[in-house]
Amino acid sequence: MSKYKYEKVNWYDEELDDYYGDENDGRVFGIYTYEGEDRMDVTWYKSEEERDFAYDLHSGIADRIEKIQ
C-alpha cells in the first residue's frame, strides 16, 4: 500500500475563507497529501474538474508505484 494518501477538500468547507479572510485567488478546490497521519502538502485549483483530474492522476500513480515495488 502507498505511504501517501490524498483527500479532496474545499476552501469553504475547511473554513479557510474565515481564517485567511480571502478567496485564495479563486483556487478553492484542493488536495491534501498525507504521509501516514501527517499532512505533507496541499495544492489548490480553480475548478473542481481540474482538481479531480489531478486527484485521479496522483491516486493512479500511487497505485502503480505500489504495484511495482
pLDDT per position as a tens digit, 8-25 = 999 999 999 999 999 999
Is residue 48 a contact partner of residue 54, using CB atoms and an 8 Å limit? no
Residue that has been written with the C-alpha cell 485567511 in this structure = 20
Gap between the Cα atoms of 66 and 68, Å rounded:
6
- pLDDT, residue 69, reads 42
pTM assigned to the model: 0.81
User: Max alpha carbon distance in the chain (Å)?
Assistant: 44
Residues 6+ apart with CB under 8 A from 39: 32, 33
pLDDT tens digits along 37-64:
999 999 999 999 999 999 988 877 655 5
- pLDDT, residue 68, reads 45
